Structure 1
Amino acid sequence: MVYFTIFRQKSSIKLDLVIIIDLISLNVKLIFGLQLADHLKKHY
């Protein structure tokens, strides 16, 4: 029974990590996209 709760906590932590990684990658893409757009505006 105790093992089950520990397992559940671990799996929820993994899920949180996946969500955090997704958010970070999304932010990186947004920042990169904005910088690229800014860069293109300066040159054209």
Structure 2
Amino acid sequence: MEKYSIKPRDAIHVAVALENNVTEVVSYDPDFDKIERFKRIEP
């Protein structure tokens, strides 16, 4: 959270996704763009 300045809920989503080898998310939330290993796809 501190490294990327994202909300706790977003951090949990990213952590669970990466733990399960999911590297993409469909979302309007630009905070996900801050994570290098994670790709946001806008609907």
- Identify the structure with the greater helix proportion: 1
Q: TM-score, normalised by structure 1?
A: 0.34
Q: TM-score, normalised by structure 2?
A: 0.35
Q: Which has the higher contact order (CA 8 A, sep 6+)?
A: 2
Q: Give the structure with higher Rg (CA).
A: 1
- Identify the structure with the greater strand proportion: 2
